Amino acid sequence: MRKEKVRDPLKILKQYWGYDSFRALQKEIVMSVLNKNDTVALLPTGGGKSLCYQLPAMCKEGLCLVISPLIALMKDQVDELNKRGIKAYAIYTGLTNREIDIILDNCIYGEVKLLYVSPERLRTEIFRERVKNMNVNLLAVDEAHCISQWGYDFRPTYLQIAEFRDSYLPGVKTIALTATATGQVVDDICEKLLLREPRRYKASFERENLALAVRKPQHKESKLLEILNKVQGPALVYVRNRRKAKEIAAWLLTHHISADYYHAGLGHDLRAKKQEFWQSGDTRVMVATNAFGMGINKDNVRIVIHYDIPDNLEAYYQEAGRAGRDGKRAYAVILYHEGDKHQLYQSFENSNPSPDFIRRVYQALANYYKIAVGSNMLSYFDFDITDFCNRFDFSAREAYYAIQRLEEEGFVELNESFYHPSKISFNIDKTELYKYLIANVALEPLIKTLLRLYGGELFGNFMRISENQIARVLNIPLGKVKHQLAALNEQKIITYDKMRDKPQLAFITQRYDASALPLDIQRLNERRKIKKQKLDSMIRYVEDTGHCRTRFILGYFGEKSFDDCGHCDYCIEKRRTLSESDQERIREIVHYQLHKGPILPDELSRIFAHHEQSLLDEIIREMSEKDLIAYDMQGRLHWKQQ
Q: Tens digit of pLDDT for each residue in 609-623?
A: 766 777 788 788 888
Of residues 157, 152, 198, 150, the one with CA closest to residue 29:
198
Q: What is the mean predicted confidence (pLDDT) over 387-391?
A: 93
Listing DSSP states for 548-577 in one string gives -HHHHHHHHTT----S--SSSHHHHHHHHT
- In a domain, residue 559? The reply is no
End residue of a domain, out of 286, 303, 336: 336
Specify whether 385 is located in the same domain as 522: yes
Specify whether 194 is located in the same domain as 224: no
Of residues 59, 46, 119, 118, the one with CA closest to residue 86:
59
Are the C-beta atoms of 84 and 93 separated by less than 8 Å? no
| pLDDT value at residue 424 | 92
Listing DSSP states for 107-119 in one string gives HHHS---EEEE-G
Between 204 and 1, residue with greater pLDDT: 204
Distances in Å between the alpha carbon of 112 and those of 75, 227, 280? 15, 48, 33
Share of the chain above pLDDT 90, in %: 57
Specify whether 377 is located in the same domain as 522: yes
Would you say residue 72 has pLDDT above 50? yes
pLDDT band at 290; cut points 50, 70, 90: confident
Are the C-beta atoms of 242 and 503 separated by less than 8 Å? no
CATH code for the domain in which residue 167 is found: 3.40.50.300
- In a domain, residue 551? The reply is no
The 3-state DSSP class for residue 625 equals helix
**pTM for this structure?**
0.79
| pLDDT value at residue 76 | 84
- In a domain, residue 189? The reply is yes
Q: Using N-to-C axis directions, what is the helix angle for 444-454 and 478-490, rounded to 10°? A: 90
The size of the chain, in residues, is 642
- In a domain, residue 550? The reply is no
d(CA 38, CA 192): 13
Share of the chain above pLDDT 70, in %: 97
Would you say residue 531 has pLDDT above 50? yes
Of residues 99, 69, 251, the one with CA closest to residue 177:
69
Q: What is the mean predicted confidence (pLDDT) over 499-510?
A: 82
| pLDDT value at residue 4 | 66
- 46: which DSSP letter? T
- In a domain, residue 392? The reply is yes
Specify whether 464 is located in the same domain as 602: no
Between 487 and 626, residue with greater pLDDT: 487
> 378 lies in which domain range?
346-415+505-530
d(CA 642, CA 638): 11
Q: What is the mean predicted confidence (pLDDT) over 131-137?
A: 95
pLDDT band at 329; cut points 50, 70, 90: very high
Are the C-beta atoms of 272 and 304 separated by less than 8 Å? no
Of residues 210, 230, 406, the one with CA closest to residue 301:
210
Q: What is the mean predicted confidence (pLDDT) over 442-467?
A: 90
Specify whether 23 is located in the same domain as 95: yes
| pLDDT value at residue 392 | 95
d(CA 56, CA 80): 17
The domain total for the chain is 5
d(CA 298, CA 295): 10
Distances in Å between the alpha carbon of 472 and those of 422, 446, 512? 16, 12, 48
Specify whether 430 is located in the same domain as 361: no
| pLDDT value at residue 432 | 92
Q: Tens digit of pLDDT for each residue in 167-224?
A: 999 999 999 999 888 888 999 999 999 999 999 999 888 888 999 999 999 899 999 9
d(CA 99, CA 461): 8
| pLDDT value at residue 295 | 62
Would you say residue 301 has pLDDT above 90? yes
H or E segment to which residue 583 belongs: helix 580-596
CATH code for the domain in which residue 377 is found: 1.10.10
| pLDDT value at residue 51 | 94
Tally of CB atoms within 10 A around 8? 10
End residue of a domain, out of 336, 368, 395: 336
- In a domain, residue 558? The reply is no
Q: What is the mean predicted confidence (pLDDT) over 368-377?
A: 87
Are the C-beta atoms of 526 and 387 separated by less than 8 Å? no
| pLDDT value at residue 294 | 67
| pLDDT value at residue 1 | 45
- In a domain, residue 46? The reply is yes
Of residues 258, 256, 257, 259, the one with CA closest to residue 245:
259
Distances in Å between the alpha carbon of 605 and those of 226, 568, 577, 616? 35, 20, 20, 8
Specify whether 461 is located in the same domain as 400: no
Of residues 474, 476, 495, 475, the one with CA closest to residue 486:
495
By mean pLDDT, which of 24-28, 93-97, 197-201 is the weakest?
Answer: 93-97
pLDDT band at 120; cut points 50, 70, 90: confident
Specify whether 263 is located in the same domain as 356: no
d(CA 611, CA 298): 31
Would you say residue 642 has pLDDT above 80? no
Specify whether 509 is located in the same domain as 377: yes
| pLDDT value at residue 413 | 85
Listing DSSP states for 230-292 in one string gives HS-S-EEEE-SSHHHHHHHHHHHHHTT--EEEE-TTS-HHHHHHHHHHHHHTSS-EEEE-TTS
Would you say residue 418 has pLDDT above 70? no
Specify whether 433 is located in the same domain as 463: yes
- In a domain, residue 567? The reply is no
Q: What is the mean pLDDT of the chain?
A: 89
Distances in Å between the alpha carbon of 97 and those of 100, 110, 421, 553? 5, 19, 16, 45
Would you say residue 417 has pLDDT above 70? no
Specify whether 155 is located in the same domain as 272: no
Specify whether 190 is located in the same domain as 136: yes
